Structure 1
């Protein structure tokens, strides 16, 4: 009995201190998360096509990588676009064995100190959650056995002995009984930490309109998140609605999310990230760069909950030379000094000739075809694969060529 009291005291003390989870630091405002897995820039070959995970990990401009996506939960399946070419089917399941990714996760964690999360959802997620909370708990236990520490259980393990650093939730439509799923994962992670010392994260990626329609049941003080990365694009409250030089914003609502962190969040120390597109084609609206983005970051840093920047996605930002380095540099600058007052800024939703990928206007990140004005898909771009909802007809004379169950491209 006395031991339990002492452990409880020190446990409470530890919870009150800033915690470092591999690359992520809860005491830092310079964290950068970049999604990997969807090859959203759309190139099938060459340096601008999505590369293996370890290709990016030596870059010190970011420290967190959510792997996108686990697209079904009840009967688990993954979609990592062209990275699936290096995986083989696991008999009796919808999962694949990915030894290259197993190796890369371990390398990114141990050699480069990256936090590697598995993002659940994406725009092709259609299960709608769970029929009961008991079903949600059971599913979470199964997901943990597949992606958590290897206990020798007879389950498929796409990442082999490698263990991710936690889970990210990225839903774009209403899901049922998700708090029960998230809390069971949190409980399993906490138990594992107690025995191994390895820390785990739980994060979410809501859209900027508050409250977020898809994630609100989890965000309404029911689930303890370590961080959320709010998608400030494809909405009226996106980066393009920010007005420089004033503390009172009419539409850009980082202040609203800061208030959520302090008054609603189950974890009062949760960090709020500024979610941004990594390139002009990474979102339908909301891409900003240069001094405008620097000003937005400086403003966001004035809020105590600010934890850094999230970028969608790796292939987009690597095709946008200098952008990632400029974000890292902007995060190192001092917070903004602004004046008081309300300025109304009228914005027009931007359109692009072809939307490569978006975290959709309702909640998440995923890819759509890189198409021409006729709706056909250009050479080297994705035209098929499990969960693919974009274009499937290639520009002549190219044909949609099967490369793996996850990925086909126009060749």
Structure 2
């Protein structure tokens, strides 16, 4: 029995849509317009609120919480370094950013400063009660009642640096699951490794941790700076991290200095961006940092190419 003409037409249209979808998938992710920026490294970069209100960024990472040592005394373990920004008002800025749809995370930095499981669990308590969704009487919250959206692992030294980050991340996730409904925010876990550290993040993956974003820093390292090097290294990163739920971000410097690994807009537009967007797990672009971007307006190009 012949199918009615309207059904045949609908079937043909669905076939075209499916073919188009598969073609786009084969060609890669394409533009996402996702742009993450680091804030907190220069007192003259403007406020966090100004960064969010610029309309350029889809996520902001506050940097850094330095892990100074592995001792058990919290007073000496951690140092919040925001390069001279006064703490007063940052909590309100965080909430303002979140209301406008820009999540705000805190980046951790401290090579090898978590020597044991216990030190990782101690840091988990500090993060949860001082910056994230937990509250404990007598614990100081530098940003007041503002609850950050996540934690970023800033990786410089590979496996030995992140050995206990898996313990830390799992404990943070457990705290969130065990908290009363309605008292916590979704917890975003991200990493920002140097491009030469191809094994960075694998210890976290082995612990069952899904990193929502992996911002690969293609700057500050001559071994993978410059257009051709970026394309070569990017292919290795994209192939290495195909974990569901994870996206790879192209980390760029907005400094304007070629010795830092800066890519001129023309080189970025015609060479690098089209190549990285071929990856199915391409997520967007990360910029270092708000200070340089404010001076050079690099995001005015990158935002719309990303």
TM-score when scaled to structure 1? Answer: 0.59
Of 50, 56, 77, the match for 2:51:
56
Per-residue CA distance 1:354-404 (angstroms, 9 max, x = gap) = xxxxxxxxxxxxxxxxxxxxxxxxxxxxxxxxxxxxxxxxxxxxxxxxxxx
1:278–1:313 Cα contact (<8 Å) kept: yes
What's the secondary structure of 1:317's corresponding residue?
helix
Cα displacement (A) at 1:311: 0.4
Looking at structure 1, the residues matched to 299 and 180 of structure 2 have their Cα atoms a distance apart, in angstroms, of 32
Per-residue CA distance 1:205-251 (angstroms, 9 max, x = gap) = 111125246x54325564221111001122422343358xxxxx5xx
Corresponding residue for 1:155? 139
Of 24, 31, 34, the match for 1:31:
34
Cα displacement (A) at 1:194: 5.1
Cα displacement (A) at 1:143: 1.7
1:168–1:205 Cα contact (<8 Å) kept: yes
Looking at structure 2, the residues matched to 306 and 328 of structure 1 have their Cα atoms a distance apart, in angstroms, of 15
Cα displacement (A) at 1:80: 0.4
2:227–2:267 Cα contact (<8 Å) kept: no
Corresponding residue for 1:76? 78
Per-residue CA distance 1:48-105 (angstroms, 9 max, x = gap) = x22121122111121111000001265222000020xx2xxxxxxxxxxx23111111
1:37-116 to 2 correspondence within 5 Å? 37-39=40-42, 49-72=44-67, 75-83=77-85, 86=86, 98-110=87-99, 112-116=100-104
CA RMSD of aligned residues (A): 2.6
> Is 1:260 the counterpart of 2:240 in the alignment?
yes
Of 230, 252, 277, the match for 2:216:
230
> Is 1:204 the counterpart of 2:184 in the alignment?
no
Task: Name the CA shift for 1:328/1:79 in 2 (closer, same or farther; >3 Å).
Answer: same
- Report which structure shows greater RCO (CA 8 Å, sep ≥6): 2
Task: Name the CA shift for 1:184/1:235 in 2 (closer, same or farther; >3 Å).
Answer: farther
What's the secondary structure of 1:156's corresponding residue?
coil
Task: Name the CA shift for 1:210/1:149 in 2 (closer, same or farther; >3 Å).
Answer: closer
Of 222, 232, 248, the match for 1:272:
248
1:265-344 to 2 correspondence within 5 Å? 265=243, 268-281=244-257, 284-295=259-270, 296-321=272-297, 323-331=298-306
> Is 1:120 the counterpart of 2:96 in the alignment?
no
Q: Which consecutive residues of structure 1, in runs of 5 or more, have no partner in the other structure?
A: 1-25, 87-97, 244-248, 332-411
Looking at structure 2, the residues matched to 57 and 183 of structure 1 have their Cα atoms a distance apart, in angstroms, of 30
Task: Name the CA shift for 1:273/1:193 in 2 (closer, same or farther; >3 Å).
Answer: farther
TM-score when scaled to structure 2? Answer: 0.78
Q: Which consecutive residues of structure 2, in runs of 5 or more, have no partner in the other structure?
A: 1-28, 69-73
What's the secondary structure of 1:302's corresponding residue?
coil
Task: Name the CA shift for 1:153/1:260 in 2 (closer, same or farther; >3 Å).
Answer: farther
Aligned residues: 266
